[in-house]
Chains A and B, each alone.
Chain A
């Protein structure tokens, strides 16, 4: 056994890296079959090992050589036209939707990049190291990268950007994501009752500039997901002067490290990105990327791709699949994801402050039936704890069963012997399937004594009330780890905690799981936070849904990223 460890260390160093002391252990787990290749490579990459080296090592350990898919040699040039909403593009740190980040993605870049294979690789950070306890992370930055204004990219940019995220005045959701660098302090203000208002802010000294091209993050608790968190959509690294020397508005000050310039930007109409220099990272086939806003009616987008006015559609609904399948020049790209919608209830608002009411709602739900009715079965039934089977740390809890009788009994116990009338807000923010879920759920609720009213509103209006309404269907995008979304949405007091769920026990259990490196061990530790969340019945959650994109056949090497993030560096046009 001992020799094996040394062998792995030597092999890695020969490939040019220091290895984290946990890597030999997970390598052994991988060799004995405890951990599969995907998880081994993912974890090794998170711990700073280069992905090709990790794949190579996996081959050596298991005898199964992994041959990466050969990437076809592309043709340079051409314009990719994408149908997608063009919204305002001000501060990347406060982007509330992925669409905004997709246009910004070709201006400002990220420290890391998570591929469609869920493996996180170096990007603006050329490599990183984690301490044995996962509390100290050092990111070494690429040298020779220049901002479009001529400045060198260096540690000052990263320090400035991360500091901005953790400043509560910025209003960035990253504050919840990087919880291990955040503390709760007295804001100095009092609320109406005279109690001190607490606010979350970055811990002084958490972000440390080591030298011009290295930044260290000192965490209060262990966090394995640091590299993955740096590829969340609001974590693009902006120039050091952003929001300090000039207005934090990327559409007005499009200073970036990418090869593209913002040639045209008309909200609601069109954004044109034009390559105007070589990309520091290497080849980029496309010359221009056009984002074309065709309004909210998906039929206009389908019409556009049918008549070759656009090459791709950002997002397809399940109802559009039939017609797209008939178009000879168009391919459908499907990705199995952890995208979902939750029928979340606010635990401090009546009647949902009574757990029996929430449990009654939960007991009425038949998840598989909702998936079949509202999403044509293209997904997986969920389990009310917001961790998906595709997440590496997913712990399988006993399946939830529909039980209207139990719902009735719970309601009677809570003082609603004659049943209860509830109203759910739904905004179809990700498509009409949301209303379909509510309609189907309404029927499922009836035998349980719940009369469900559906308050349908325009998607933008829903985003105004998503964190305020007592009962609403909120959609959540895919994230690589289950812990990421639990941290963002369910920790006590974080900005995106829409249910106002607050449990010290849950927070502690989640922190413990987040800080555990051993994959098998971490999965075991996820049982507790998952169970707590499921038992609290704050988010009856119907299903995880697959997502679909449509692309003209001339678009080559394109893969749908489960988060809808646009990664086009390998994409080329066959007729360019």
Chain B
């Protein structure tokens, strides 16, 4: 297990290094575009050249990459063009905000999806199964920007129950978290529920379940003791992949509610060509992707003893 962990970590670092290099190449391959971004559209060619020399952009790209990597590792993410502040100052708090949103979403979405999926999969073709399946397909096919408007119409404009924007300009407010969380849960739960249902339905047809039922073990016990653990292997991977989806899914949701998170930051940076912010966000996204993959793989082996990575 220890060796597996080390191998996985090594792989993770390698992937990150490669992606980081690609990210760097895409953003800083053309130094003039950086200088133009920082100095603005009115800057003269000479000013650009001077700026580039002052900031060491006349060195070979590999040297620049290693220097940049060194700075990133020590926590220096550069200075944001649009915010005129070190990226690290804004970045971590924004990432934290998205962390809060993601945690709230997961805390509701995962149990709800698993319960509904198991309920549906227990008796394939039953009314409950049909109902849950249609519901999950329905909600998953509504994109976030549409459900954001729909939920706003219901809870903000009609019922006047919830705040319509989530900028949290006066500090953290749990009420402002509800609508964005609802949008994400609504979109995300269906997928996990469907996967759980399929997995559960498959397990329910196996011989050992049939045997267990015929043996006279109470139905509840069969589900909880025998079916569930096996049925949860496939959804576990899906849940881990949802972590990645969340990072991109939040862009739309955060934008719709003015939530000050990672997604809104990335969108703003991309629109304004704020390259140091884009790089930081890119690295974070890669890190989450690789990490969730690794956790997924390791968790898989723990859940299913038959799987071994050698």
Contact = CB atoms under 8 A, between A and B. Distances in A.
B124 interface: no
Interface in A293-309: 293-297, 299-307, 309
Interface string A524-559: 000000000000000000000000000000000000
B136 interface: no
Contacts of B169: 269-270, 290, 292
A323 B41 CA distance: 38
Interface stretch (B190-198, B267-275, B286-294, B302-310): B267-275
B271 A297 contact: no
B273 A461 contact: yes
Interface residues of A, number: 40
B268 A268 contact: yes
Contacts of A88: 82-84
Interface string B257-286: 110100010001001110000000000000
Interface stretch (B15-23, B52-60, B160-168, B201-209): B160-168
Nearest to A326: B157
Contacts of A464: 41, 273
Interface in B114-167: 148-149, 152, 156-157, 160, 162-167
B152 A303 contact: yes
Interface string A461-473: 1011101100000
A88 B38 CA distance: 13
Contacts of B156: 303, 306-307
Contacts of A463: 41
Nearest to B274: A460
A489 B248 CA distance: 41
Contacts of B160: 306-307
A267 B84 contact: yes
B258 A304 contact: yes
A242 B157 CA distance: 47
A301 B271 contact: no
Nearest to B89: A266
Contact of A301 (B41, B254, B258): B258
Contacts of B82: 87-88, 267-268
Given A292-B169, A307-B163, A309-B165, A297 B256 contact: yes
A171 interface: yes
A304 B164 contact: yes
A229 to B, nearest CB: 22
B165 A303 contact: yes
Given A300-B164, A309-B163, A323 B84 contact: no
Of the candidates B41, B165, B167, the one having the most CB atoms from chain A within 10 angstroms of its own CB is B165
B255 interface: yes
Contacts of A270: 167, 169
Contacts of A294: 165, 167, 258
A458 interface: yes
Given A88-B83, A268-B268, A464-B41, A300 B157 contact: no
Given A267-B83, A307-B165, A309-B163, A295 B157 contact: no
Of the candidates A268, A303, A468, the one having the most CB atoms from chain B within 10 angstroms of its own CB is A303
Nearest to A467: B41
A310 B156 CA distance: 14
Contacts of A296: 255, 271
Nearest to A171: B42
A50 B148 CA distance: 53
B268 to A, nearest CB: 7
B85 interface: yes
Interface in B211-249: none
Contacts of B258: 293-295, 297, 300-301, 304
Interface string B6-46: 00000000000000000000000000000000000110000
A83 B166 CA distance: 12
B255 A309 contact: no
A300 B257 contact: yes
A292 B167 contact: yes
A326 B82 CA distance: 36
Nearest to B36: A464
Contact of B164 (A268, A292, A309, A460): A309
Contacts of A495: 42
A34 B3 CA distance: 95
Contacts of B256: 297, 299-300
Nearest to A329: B160
B285 to A, nearest CB: 20
B157 A306 contact: yes
A296 to B, nearest CB: 7
Contacts of A295: 167, 254-255, 258, 264, 268
Contacts of B84: 88, 90, 267
B186 to A, nearest CB: 17
Given A267-B83, A297-B256, A299-B149, A304 B163 contact: yes
Interface string B160-186: 101111110100000000000000000
Contacts of B162: 307
B152 A297 contact: no
A88 B160 CA distance: 34
A294 B176 CA distance: 13
A450 B114 CA distance: 57
A494 to B, nearest CB: 13
A536 to B, nearest CB: 25
Contacts of B264: 295
Contacts of B164: 300, 302-307, 309
Given A294-B165, A300-B165, A461-B273, A267 B85 contact: yes
20 contacts: A87-B82, A90-B84, A267-B83, A267-B84, A268-B260, A292-B167, A292-B169, A294-B165, A295-B254, A297-B258, A299-B148, A303-B164, A306-B164, A307-B162, A309-B163, A309-B164, A310-B165, A459-B271, A464-B273, A467-B41
Given A88-B83, A323-B157, 6 more contacts: A267-B84, A299-B148, A300-B165, A303-B257, A304-B163, A309-B164
Interface of A: 83, 87-88, 90, 171, 267-270, 290, 292-297, 299-307, 309-310, 323, 326-327, 458-461, 463-465, 467-468, 495
Closest 4 CB pairs of A and B: A303-B164, A294-B258, A300-B258, A304-B165
